[in-house]
Amino acid sequence: MPEVLLPQFEGFVPLTTPATSAHAAGTLVDKYGRHITYIRLSITDRCDFRCFYCMAEEMEFLSRDQVLSLEECLRVIRTFVGMGVTKVRITGGEPLVRRNALWLMREAGKLEGLQELVVTTNGSQLDRYAAEMVAAGVKRVNISLDTLRADRFKSVTRVGESDKVLRGIDAAIAAGFSGIKLNAVMMRGVNDDELVGLVRFAVARGIDISFIEEMPLGTVDHPRADTYYSSDEALALLKPHFELVGSDETTGGPANYWRIPGMRTKVGFISPHSHNFCDSCNRVRITCKGELYPCLGQNDALALMPVLRGHPEDDAPLRQAIVDSMGIKPKGHDFNEQMQDPKVVRFMSMTGG
């Protein structure tokens, strides 16, 4: 299916179908009856790391005029919350490298109806900003940590220093977030020998951890099928070392969780390949340039920036555009078919982590 970037001109005619035009007030429902209650909003494509599964080593970043202003980001959040969204995740790139990102967090944290404001970060800036984030109303933080080895961390991130992230994790714990979770992308031959150690690291600090199956997004210098490591393999690897009990707990995202009795730590698995979670998908993503992607694993998108800038004082066209986006939200992704030949050529850093 060709990429859909609508609307791109003034006076556009909204795409309406019975499935997208019959929303009850204060709700957002796609054509398969799934209620959208969660958005992931990227506020920058820039990052101080260059993780090889997330972006190219030499990236061309967007110019300032190509990126939503923070005021426009707040307007998007406010509009979605008015349509029944209760959870907002601020992402990047690395969101904390965006100047005045804390202003957006403070303003979003004031919105009535928003139950959870959360942030995904690589942790590099948390030792500076963790306490201010909590004060701004950020409830939970997800921190990317694929390895505990300094040499391997440098290899995966190309430029990052693990000590900086470890200090950030300590700062997040001291700041008092209601939830802290580590995110580790599993890669065969890269970090699959550290999964047990990563869980022990999380348990020792009383924080959660989720293991993520690598997704075929962007072009990389290794075949995805060669590094793919499944959640089932990881679970089998961990069980001899930890007593893992299945849990029906959820944080509103796609992870399935296991509990370690007597410990605060939850161990989660995000399994877009082995255990497709599309049937219960409750989220959409908005890039820093205002592209609304109803599905991470597809190329179809709807451009919100022209609406925002064409109607700066009227949110009605923005609400209609968001409703229209439900008409292009697919039933699911097809990551398994894309392992050898990815169809989604944009990097994760461009979509929002």
Look at residue 272 and tell me if it is in a domain: yes
Q: How many domains does the chain have?
A: 1
Predicted local confidence at residue 7, as pLDDT: 40
Q: Highest-confidence range of 17-31, 90-104, 333-347, by mean pLDDT? A: 90-104
pTM of the model: 0.86
Look at residue 313 and tell me if it is in a domain: yes
Cα 165 from Cα 128, distance rounded (Å): 11
Give the list of residues 6+ apart from residue 218 with CB closer than 8 angstroms, or none: 54, 55, 56, 342, 344, 345, 346, 347, 348, 350
Q: What are the C-alpha distances in Å from 55 to residues 9, 61, 95, 186, 218?
A: 31, 11, 15, 16, 7
Predicted local confidence at residue 261, as pLDDT: 95
Give me the domain span that covers residue 334.
38-351
Look at residue 18 and tell me if it is in a domain: no
Look at residue 29 and tell me if it is in a domain: no
Tens digits of per-residue pLDDT, 84-117?
A: 999 999 999 999 999 999 999 999 999 999 999 9
Q: Supply the DSSP string of 83-139, one letter for each residue.
A: TT--EEEEESS-GGGSTTHHHHHHHHHT-TT--EEEEEE-STTHHHHHHHHHHHT--
Look at residue 10 and tell me if it is in a domain: no
Tens digits of per-residue pLDDT, 45-91?
A: 999 999 888 887 788 889 999 999 999 999 999 999 999 999 999 99
Q: What are the C-alpha distances in Å from 260 to residues 202, 250, 257, 326, 345?
A: 11, 16, 10, 38, 38
Look at residue 260 and tell me if it is in a domain: yes
CATH of the domain at 70: 3.20.20.70
Look at residue 1 and tell me if it is in a domain: no
Cα 195 from Cα 189, distance rounded (Å): 12
Tens digits of per-residue pLDDT, 149-207?
A: 999 999 999 999 999 999 999 999 999 999 999 999 999 999 999 999 999 999 999 99
Look at residue 20 and tell me if it is in a domain: no
